[in-house]
Amino acid sequence: KFVRLREYNIHTNPDCVYENDLKDCSDDMIDLVPQAVIPHPEYDSESSNQQHDIALIRIEQTPPFTDFLRSICLPEQNFESSATPGKKLSVSGWGRTDIFKDNLGPDVLSPIKLKLSLPYVEREKCSKTFRPWSFALGPGQMCAGGERAKDTCAGDSGSPLMSYDMKRAIWYITGIVSLGVR
């Protein structure tokens, strides 16, 4: 097992994007062997609510930051205390999608990292949504989404949920994708 950095399309290397007749290629991908995987001490794989479904991965070396590999800031305060309903958040990942189902089949993960904008959903509305599944939102959990045909899916767990501060031009980690209603 390894941690792969600077990956976009798992079928090509290097990864290149073409925009307006310009070719922009990323740096080569990096595979790093984790030194340690540290699950949350309160994580319970048998629990239906998946609270504390998170782990830290310690890597030995810090790779150099480039246009294709950057750090992300931790929030200065609890996001929910300052968020307004509908605030746009971003998520990216290689989860299952309908885009490739005709070519690759319905249960295949995306070979290309996809990104999506989702609105923040206030706790009360989210709790009502999850009630039919007997799921209770934990104190460290929040919701984003609720728009038709826009969602994270199987394979996106662990992906970052991010917010952008336009005044400071800084990305913040707001949450981590864990589960959904489907």
Select from 2.40.50.140, 2.40.10.10, 1.10.10.10, 3.40.50.10490 the CATH code of 72-182: 2.40.10.10
Q: What per-residue confidence (pLDDT) applies to 106?
A: 61
The pLDDT value recorded for residue 2 is 87
pLDDT tens, residue order, the chain (182 aa): 888 888 888 888 888 888 898 988 888 889 999 999 999 999 888 877 677 888 899 998 888 898 888 889 998 777 777 788 889 999 988 877 766 666 666 667 778 888 889 999 998 998 888 888 777 788 888 888 877 767 777 767 788 899 999 999 999 999 888 876 65
pLDDT at 92: 86
DSSP-derived secondary structure for the chain: --EEES-SBTT-SS-EEEETTEEEEPPPPEEE-EEEEEE-TT--TT-SS-TT--EEEEESS-PPPBTTB---BPPSS-HHHHPPTT-EEEEEE--B-STTHHHH-TTPBPSB-EEEEEEEE-HHHHHHHHGGGT----TT--EE--STT----TT-TT-EEEEEETTTTEEEEEEE------
pLDDT value of residue 158:
82
Per the CATH hierarchy, to which homologous superfamily does domain 1-64 belong? Trypsin-like serine proteases (2.40.10.10)
pLDDT at residue 104 in the model: 61
Give ranges for CATH 2.40.10.10 in the chain. Answer: 1-64, 72-182
pLDDT for 153 equals 73
